[in-house]
Structure 1
Amino acid sequence: MLVSLTAILFAFIGIALGYGGIKLALLGGSLYYIITAAGFLLTAILLFTRRAAALWVYALIILGTLGWAFYEVGFDWWPLGSRGGIIVLLGLWLLLPPIRKALSPASREVAPTIEQARAGSASPLPLLGAIAAALIVAGISITKDPHNLDGSLPTEAVAATPDMGNTVPDGEWHQYGRTQYGQRYSPLTQITPENVASLQLAWQYQTGDVRQPQDVTETTYQVTPLKIEDTLYLCTPHNIAIALDADTGKEKWRYNPEVSANTQRQHQTCRGVTYWKDQSVAADQACYERVYLPTSDAHLIALDAKTGQICESFADKGVLDLTRGMKYNPSGYYYSTSPPTAMDGKIIVGGAVNDNFSTQEQSGVIRAFDILTGQLLWNWDSGNPDVTTPIADGEHYTTNSPNSWSVFSADENLGLIYIPLGNQVPDQLGMGRSEAVEKYSSSITALDVKTGQVRWVRQTVHHDLWDMDVPAQPVLLDITNKSGQVVPALVGPTKQGDIYVLDRRTGEAIIPVTEVAAPTGAIPEDFSAPTQPLSGLSFNPPPLTEANMWGATMFDQLACRIQFRSLRYEGRYTPPSLQGTIVYPGNFGVFNWGSVAVDPKRQVMFGMPTYLAFTSRLVPADQIPPKGEDEKASEQGLNRNDGAPYGVFMGPLLSPLGIPCQSPPWGYVAGVDLRTGKIAYKHKNGTVEDMAPVPIPLKLGVPGIGGPMITAGGVAFLGAAVDDYLRAYDLTTGKQLWQTRLPAGGQSTPMSYTGKDGKQYVLIVAGGHGSVGTKAGDYVMSYKLP
């Protein structure tokens, strides 16, 4: 009975592999599955007939699989294991005595002749040998990591007193990236690689703002708090502003604007508030210090930093309406997710526009308002870039012009503000874009802070059809070149993995940028750029191949291979199609809003490159289902593009089990010497503990979204990964030094400050991320040395 059931199982596997293998072969894929299917079916027949040759045939299947797998991936354990794991386990099953004895002539009632015994005896040796070979290769591969890059960053201080931006006391954190340079660098030195493992929880606070049933999928907690004197200032996903005592976490005040829920909103988050001190009035007056709160219903609110009361002298009784001047204003389609920039007596604001909802959405205009009164001082509209004088009542900004939803950086000495720009929606359709839109889409643009006029622009994608908007705050620092010359630099991370290192005065490349040929063949109504820029410093991954397809088992790997061969893919920038296109790097981005951190003394960079392929498939408008069916307000599912000739289905390239089709690792930590542009190290980051059905902390290297922070003590801190941990790394080598379990997903950027006790604190907000599925929460976690 056991042999018969085993034979049925082998026959079923053979049929399944044969069916999928034929589909794959007809698409031009590997013939391995057809050959292996034949081997399984032959083994099943031999098992049904109780023939000892079944073990010989199956031994050949194992050896053939081993050779094929090694040819495709070498000593890389996870791809090897998924190819051969089930096959080796079934080989061990065949070695069970009840099965082996049933295949031996000695089990018959009539004693066999010597010749029959020799010919038909079910010797385990061939199968044992094949399994042993597979286990030896597996053992070797477990000890190797072909994806790891070992190395070290230089440790010497190139600049003894580096320019870190506007003046901020060492123990404070005044802007989103600590200063307007966005370096995410703390000059504090108490925490070092030698003592970081002793970090302990100092205090924990819960905001009370938790995810609601009516919230959109992309409800996330991404805030980096500010620390001014003895107070922390933060906001919550539903735009509640809170002030905390930095030493104890005790709440000082809170302000709730009572923003109503809106299911048309694509994102529900708040990355931070903006602080400003009014030097023109006495320190004891109300609103001498202000906190500016952006809201998801498109308002900017001025609050007294000491009390949380509204500063009614600003705008309309303390509230600035950001929808003014929009020709179209559909509810929930426009809002501010990132803290505005305060400089030169101005509050400078961008805005997020819903991706791919409609062709009649709000403008992506950048506006500067008087920071005290809320009066509009200039507006820069990338669809009408030359006219920056404030528009008059009744005039409108350009509909759907490229927007900036991320964080700006600024150089007060140069009088420049640096804007990371997206593209015009619909993202995948480039028809009808104006000359100005073509110029500024997916670029880093420097504006004169006094007038809003463009000083320079550096485009990172031409005619963007892939949603490769510049997502990250540009980071500013001075770089000393080989000749000893100090160059004011800008480091701009991008979704496609290129990192642009530019002279921030002019936009000229410090690390060379070249133009390389790109795939062509867009839909007939559109076109694709024949070349695309490529930075000499890039984390752009090698193109995917069928051999890169992965699965927990050989069955879902086969499904991924079929999917890969069914989609259009000719490398990075393969145009969108009706057939369906693989977008790699994907919409999630190699780098996203978390940006990178730099050490301005050592002139090195620490970042978290992430690799996750996406797919996009254009759908003619007349084939789009009725509104409300199969649509998502995020990067997964149907994006309707109302008013456009096509909608788009998009999402990660996943197996039937819901895991990435491409082989791990999917996430790393990496260090770069910015003086040479060389990547010094790259290590797998994070585990599948919170991804897998069984919470085993296997370090595959997982995706993440969030940002890193560096301290002058030589330690980098990062949450971000889809397992719920805050980790510390040696900045020099990238080796992990410490980790602590968070009560929710840590998809925010940590910061550091000094308390009244003289101790250095490290703080992270843990609240989860709806789109990546991490645990939701409302926690503020602060750590210090004992």
Structure 2
Amino acid sequence: MKTTMAVIFVLLGLVVAGGGIWLANLGGSLYYIVAGVGLLATGLLLFANRPVSLLVYALVIAGSLAWAIYEVGFDWWQLAPRGGLLIVLGLLLLMPWVLRPLARKGGRLWIGSALTLAAAIIASAAVAVYSMTIDVHEITGTVPEAEASTLPPSEATVPPAEWHAYGRTPGGSHYSPLTAITPANVGGLQKVWEYHTGDVRVEGDPEETTYEVTPTLVDGLLYLCTAHQIAIALDPLTGREVWRYDPQVGVNKQRQHQTCRGLSYVVVEGAAADSNCASRVLLPTADARLIALDAKTGTVCTGFGDNGVVNLALNMPNFYPGSYYSTSPPVVAGGLVIVGGAVNDNVSTTEPSGVIRAYRADTGELVWNFDSGNPDETAPISAVQPYVGNSPNAWSLLSVDEQLGMVYAPMGNAPPDQYGGDRTPETERFSSSVTALDLRTGQVRWVFQAVHHDLWDMDTPSQPQLVDLVRDGETVPALVQATKQGDIYVLDRRTGEPLLPVTEEPAPQGAVEGDFTAPTQPTSALSFKPEPLREKDMWGATPVDQLYCRIRFRSLNYEGRYTPPSTKGSIVYPGNFGTFNWGGVAVDPVRQIVFANPVYLAFIVKLIPREDDTTSYVSEGEPGFNENFGAPFAAMMRPFWSPIGLPCQAPPWGFVAAADLNTGEVIWKRRNGTVRDLSPLPLPFEMGVPAIGGPIVTAGGVAFHSGTLDYFVRAFDVSNGRELWRDRLPAGGQATPMTFQGSDGRQYVVVVAGGHGSTGTAAGDAIIAYALPSN
């Protein structure tokens, strides 16, 4: 056994020392050379049966402990990979089968060496135990009591008991005025019913086949859609299916995304020609249709569009099946239905248009079209005229302020995302922005750009959220915009002017030939942007894979946020997964705070020069995602992971947090989620894991979130972030929950657990409702 231990130390020493030399040549830490030599010496001395081997290894452990504390302080999850393996090996050296041979050869010397090694192990264990008792990443605080108790006008457009749109109101706050569920009683929530849609992933679906739907509750029915756009109405008290409509979108791998985030509800006036459809739900589909259904029966409203259908592919340039679709529900206001759409990212430079269109809610007649490639011409386009191809699109959720007469669109980028040398002035103006349009005409009212000359796929990903802020006794109509890069902008929604300071900060330079980088990038005073990565932030399960990640870190381009893509390979942090994505944040209009779940994952982007417009460099076959046909470069993109599939950056990777919308101050922040469903063993370590899907907050002081990559729905105390309740889900819950009050007087919380293809969470088809016991 001693010989086996000696072999292990020699091999480990050679690997660590060799990797340490490589790292040092890249300008990295010298620790691994010293540690590798110490490990190698320990092994060689064990072969020679020398008791001093224990003393040498004690020095390795003690030195490693001092180095670890110097680098990362008392951060348990940073200390663990630096010392865990070393301590285990040290304990094995103290086993009788190692000590007995050393005792026979070394007289009494082995006793002192063994005691020194034991002392080093005990010291390391003491540091480990102490670090478990603190959380160096946590921010503690308490949200002040709300000064107002009445519901603000921006929230009063929807009855308190109901949830009419994706974010409850057309302004998308994710806030419910219900108060029955409180921090004191939320622990008593019980599952009331569970409904299964029957719609699951099938052969031929794209990788990102996902359940991202947030149900809506209007006039006694709960409405939802599935990944394949099956529209369903349920009895909200029992989960019993009332009606179902299947648009038969079929399977098409050309679609980059196969999802449906929700349905829209509208009541139309004067529907004499289609009287059965006075109240309607509007269903966007993956095959570029907008379908109107009777809200009570699910039958098609034949007076809308062409026999109930508006063809969103009309006038669309470069259209082919699967190239254009709408994943988000349209916004409804003033008798209009306004719909955006998504195009496939990074396939080519000749993709469909990102046009936003407004239709009459009663007839489906086109009223205006805003094409960011031709922004001044918003009158309805002629039957033979095409929109501008490859223009920035609004794939996420729009919001509307009917009183101000404005629609707010979160804009994406023009493909390709990672190369911008050929972009038009219109693309440069609207990409990665919030764009306010006139509700009646579609004309541009103002534009606020969150990223200049975006080369990182930092689309403005989430619904602009409308809230009325109280400042110096005056009510100010505001807009809150969460972004992938971690900034949350608070703007005056009348003008687009910042209500919290926005500063332009110098940005890294060095774009590839033919492109450029913006000299500065905006940063909000309210920001969850990550601290820049450093070598010491590299992580792994052991010192070996941590060393690998350090070498990779030093080998890639990285100068902080907005490091441009390169042919060498660049670290993009936060990556295009986003600090925030389509789920956005929750805005509490009474407490005047934002409840957020920021995520931190680094990605690697490498540009590959293209020699022609047909060869596949980074994909196999159709549809050729990230090939960027027509551009000078294809793009290889992947998470910044170690060889064993762990993030190279240290945890936490996900938090819940609250911030003051008037000051930008982060009030509290806590890690969120376990690695139970991310590790080979179901270990419930509270590391803080990535999440996709937004939170909701309630007037009762409870927030709900289900988007973490472990399969739980959780309830949090809004005042301090403390987790109050959780329940296990049958699949990934990467959707935004909702809440309503039933006709029985109880407050219900509804969670969708269908999984998310691109995150690897388990697929499912469950819709689950919770409530407090009826007594």
Query: TM-score w.r.t. structure 2 length?
Result: 0.98
Could you tell which deviates more after superposition, 166-175 or 421-430? 166-175
Runs of at least 5 residues in structure 2 that lack an aligned partner in the other structure: none
Q: 1:185-264 alignment to 2 at 5 Å?
A: 185-264=175-254
Q: 1:306-705 alignment to 2 at 5 Å?
A: 306-481=296-471, 483-622=472-611, 626-627=615-616, 630-631=619-620, 639-705=626-692
Aligned to 1:30: 29
Matches of 1:120 and 1:438 in 2, distance apart? 72
Percent of paired sites with the same residue: 57
| 2:51 is the counterpart of 1:62 | no
DSSP-derived class of the 2:409 partner:
strand
2:466–2:477: 8 Å Cα contact kept in structure 1? Answer: yes
Matches of 2:771 and 2:317 in 1, distance apart? 51
CA 1:276–1:88: 2 relative to 1, 3 Å? same
Runs of at least 5 residues in structure 1 that lack an aligned partner in the other structure: 109-115
Aligned to 1:74: 73
Cα deviation for residue 629 of structure 1 reads 6.8
DSSP-derived class of the 1:124 partner:
helix
Matches of 2:610 and 2:127 in 1, distance apart? 52
| 2:733 is the counterpart of 1:746 | yes
Matches of 2:60 and 2:293 in 1, distance apart? 71
Aligned to 1:769: 756
Cα deviation for residue 633 of structure 1 reads 9.1
CA distances 1:426-471 after superposition (whole Å, capped 9, x unpaired): 0001111111110111000100010000111100000000000100
DSSP-derived class of the 1:285 partner:
helix
Cα deviation for residue 625 of structure 1 reads 9.6
Q: 1:5-154 alignment to 2 at 5 Å?
A: 5-104=4-103, 107=104, 117-118=107-108, 123-154=113-144
Matches of 2:174 and 2:622 in 1, distance apart? 30
2:613–2:630: 8 Å Cα contact kept in structure 1? Answer: no
**Which of 717, 720, 732 lines up with 1:733 in the alignment?**
720
Aligned to 2:709: 722
2:187 maps to amino acid: A
1:357–1:640: 8 Å Cα contact kept in structure 2? Answer: yes
| 2:148 is the counterpart of 1:158 | yes
CA 1:625–1:568: 2 relative to 1, 3 Å? farther
Matches of 2:614 and 2:88 in 1, distance apart? 45
1:742 maps to amino acid: L
Cα deviation for residue 74 of structure 1 reads 0.4
Q: 1:280-299 alignment to 2 at 5 Å?
A: 280-281=270-271, 285-299=275-289
Cα deviation for residue 647 of structure 1 reads 0.4
Matches of 2:604 and 2:676 in 1, distance apart? 26
2:151–2:177: 8 Å Cα contact kept in structure 1? Answer: no
CA distances 1:657-686 after superposition (whole Å, capped 9, x unpaired): 111110000000001121222110000000
CA distances 1:362-382 after superposition (whole Å, capped 9, x unpaired): 000111111121111111111
DSSP-derived class of the 2:646 partner:
coil
1:686–1:700: 8 Å Cα contact kept in structure 2? Answer: yes
CA 1:3–1:632: 2 relative to 1, 3 Å? farther
1:631–1:640: 8 Å Cα contact kept in structure 2? Answer: no
Cα deviation for residue 525 of structure 1 reads 0.7
Matches of 1:56 and 1:27 in 2, distance apart? 31
DSSP-derived class of the 1:193 partner:
coil
CA 1:547–1:123: 2 relative to 1, 3 Å? closer
CA 1:566–1:689: 2 relative to 1, 3 Å? same
CA 1:625–1:50: 2 relative to 1, 3 Å? farther
1:417–1:446: 8 Å Cα contact kept in structure 2? Answer: yes
CA distances 1:260-279 after superposition (whole Å, capped 9, x unpaired): 11111100000001101113
Aligned to 1:111: none
Cα deviation for residue 284 of structure 1 reads 10
2:351 maps to amino acid: E
DSSP-derived class of the 1:466 partner:
coil
Matches of 1:72 and 1:740 in 2, distance apart? 37
1:101–1:122: 8 Å Cα contact kept in structure 2? Answer: no
Q: How many residues align?
A: 773
Q: 1:755-766 alignment to 2 at 5 Å?
A: 755-766=742-753
Cα deviation for residue 624 of structure 1 reads 9.7
Matches of 1:629 and 1:176 in 2, distance apart? 36
DSSP-derived class of the 2:154 partner:
coil
Superposition RMSD on alpha carbons, in Å?
1.7
Matches of 1:497 and 1:750 in 2, distance apart? 22
2:538–2:550: 8 Å Cα contact kept in structure 1? Answer: yes
Matches of 1:632 and 1:694 in 2, distance apart? 35
Could you tell which deviates more after superposition, 256-265 or 277-286? 277-286
CA distances 1:504-532 after superposition (whole Å, capped 9, x unpaired): 00001100101110000111210000001
